[in-house]
Amino acid sequence: MTSSTVRNTNNITRYNSIRHWLINFEGYNYQQLFGLKMYELEDLFYYDDPTVRYKVTGRKRDWMSIQWARFVDFFDLYEG
Protein backbone atom coordinates (compact mmCIF):
# COMPACT_ATOMS: atom_id res chain seq x y z
CA MET A 1 0.00 0.00 0.00
CA THR A 2 1.43 3.34 -0.99
CA SER A 3 0.84 6.58 0.79
CA SER A 4 -0.69 9.59 -0.85
CA THR A 5 1.78 12.15 -2.16
CA VAL A 6 -0.67 14.95 -1.37
CA ARG A 7 -0.71 13.97 2.29
CA ASN A 8 3.09 13.79 2.45
CA THR A 9 3.38 17.14 0.70
CA ASN A 10 0.96 18.70 3.18
CA ASN A 11 2.92 17.28 6.10
CA ILE A 12 6.19 18.61 4.69
CA THR A 13 4.62 21.99 4.03
CA ARG A 14 3.14 22.09 7.54
CA TYR A 15 6.48 21.03 9.09
CA ASN A 16 8.32 23.74 7.17
CA SER A 17 5.77 26.44 8.00
CA ILE A 18 5.87 25.61 11.74
CA ARG A 19 9.67 25.57 11.69
CA HIS A 20 9.87 28.88 9.82
CA TRP A 21 7.40 30.50 12.23
CA LEU A 22 9.45 29.34 15.22
CA ILE A 23 12.61 30.70 13.60
CA ASN A 24 11.11 34.05 12.61
CA PHE A 25 8.90 34.84 15.60
CA GLU A 26 10.19 32.83 18.58
CA GLY A 27 13.91 33.43 18.15
CA TYR A 28 15.07 29.87 17.53
CA ASN A 29 17.58 29.15 14.80
CA TYR A 30 17.75 26.41 12.19
CA GLN A 31 20.49 24.51 14.02
CA GLN A 32 18.38 24.28 17.18
CA LEU A 33 15.33 22.96 15.32
CA PHE A 34 17.26 20.61 13.03
CA GLY A 35 16.25 16.98 13.46
CA LEU A 36 13.12 17.56 15.54
CA LYS A 37 10.16 15.34 14.83
CA MET A 38 6.83 16.78 13.73
CA TYR A 39 5.19 16.08 17.11
CA GLU A 40 8.03 17.90 18.89
CA LEU A 41 7.64 20.95 16.67
CA GLU A 42 3.89 20.91 17.29
CA ASP A 43 4.41 20.68 21.06
CA LEU A 44 6.79 23.63 20.90
CA PHE A 45 4.51 25.63 18.59
CA TYR A 46 1.11 25.00 20.18
CA TYR A 47 1.89 24.25 23.84
CA ASP A 48 5.38 25.71 24.43
CA ASP A 49 6.26 22.38 26.04
CA PRO A 50 9.15 22.80 28.53
CA THR A 51 10.60 19.36 27.71
CA VAL A 52 10.99 20.20 24.03
CA ARG A 53 12.14 23.73 24.89
CA TYR A 54 14.92 22.26 27.05
CA LYS A 55 15.85 19.79 24.30
CA VAL A 56 16.15 22.67 21.83
CA THR A 57 17.85 25.31 23.96
CA GLY A 58 19.60 23.38 26.71
CA ARG A 59 19.04 26.30 29.12
CA LYS A 60 18.86 25.73 32.84
CA ARG A 61 15.72 27.87 33.08
CA ASP A 62 13.87 25.39 30.86
CA TRP A 63 15.16 22.48 32.94
CA MET A 64 13.84 24.19 36.08
CA SER A 65 10.47 24.63 34.39
CA ILE A 66 10.32 20.87 33.82
CA GLN A 67 11.22 20.16 37.44
CA TRP A 68 8.63 22.63 38.71
CA ALA A 69 5.92 21.02 36.56
CA ARG A 70 6.87 17.61 37.98
CA PHE A 71 6.76 19.00 41.54
CA VAL A 72 3.30 20.49 41.01
CA ASP A 73 2.09 17.25 39.45
CA PHE A 74 3.53 15.10 42.24
CA PHE A 75 1.99 17.10 45.08
CA ASP A 76 -1.21 17.82 43.12
CA LEU A 77 -0.87 21.60 43.57
CA TYR A 78 -2.91 22.67 40.55
CA GLU A 79 -5.03 25.79 40.77
CA GLY A 80 -8.71 25.38 41.49
pLDDT at 7 over 70: no
Digit-coded pLDDT (tens) for 56-69: 999 999 999 999 98
Digit-coded pLDDT (tens) for 69-80: 899 999 988 775
Q: Which residues contact 20 (CB under 8 A, 6 or more apart)?
A: none
* pLDDT score for 78: 78
Q: Is the dihedral of CA 45, 41, 51, 22 positive or negative?
A: negative
